[in-house]
Copies of this chain bind each other. A is one copy, B any other.
């Protein structure tokens, strides 16, 4: 029989597409095999197990996100950088809901340290160079920004802000205004 040309990379990529189509937690080794018109057991030569597949999708999503963020950040500073960076997350989540969910997967410490998660933290710090924050407030601010971006996007994705006025677009824009104002007037302890 002809071979399907499976590789770990193609499976990961297809898994990411599947996640966007049917939701990350509907991603299953079986569904992936179906998509390649191949028997399930065949995938186990390329993937350790189901968890391995999910982890790979998560790492892929983190890389993609970091690449987009780096791109958006280039040549920008201050509020301009803040806005561009935040929009990368929101837009990515809208374009790729399954991948975005994957990116939030809990990784084991080693995997996390080797992942693009590190780049995300560095870029957030880079944004703060446009504001005047010394340690440890800078770290607090990094965490706050991460919380707002992740929190807003995930609540919005869950439908929390639909069906009520004003529309989410406006709240997002005003949230970024508020964060910018906050970073410029960071309160003393």
Contacts and interface: CB of A to CB of B under 8 A. Distances in A.
A68 to B, nearest CB: 20
A3 interface: no
A176 B109 CA distance: 28
A182 B175 contact: no
Contacts of A25: 25
A116 to B, nearest CB: 14
Given A139-B164, A150-B155, 15 more contacts: A25-B25, A139-B166, A139-B171, A143-B161, A143-B171, A144-B148, A144-B175, A147-B148, A147-B175, A148-B148, A150-B151, A174-B189, A177-B187, A178-B187, A181-B182
A189 B152 CA distance: 19
Question: How many copies of the shown chain assemble into the complex?
Answer: 2
A8 interface: no
A92 interface: no
A186 interface: yes
Interface residues of A, number: 43
10 contacts: A140-B166, A140-B171, A143-B161, A146-B160, A150-B154, A150-B155, A181-B186, A181-B187, A182-B182, A185-B185
Interface of A: 25, 104, 106, 109, 112, 136-137, 139-141, 143-144, 146-152, 154-155, 158-161, 163-166, 168, 170-171, 174-175, 177-178, 180-182, 185-187, 189
A186 B175 contact: no
Contacts of A136: 165-166, 170
A146 B180 CA distance: 18
Contact of A177 (B147, B168, B189): B189
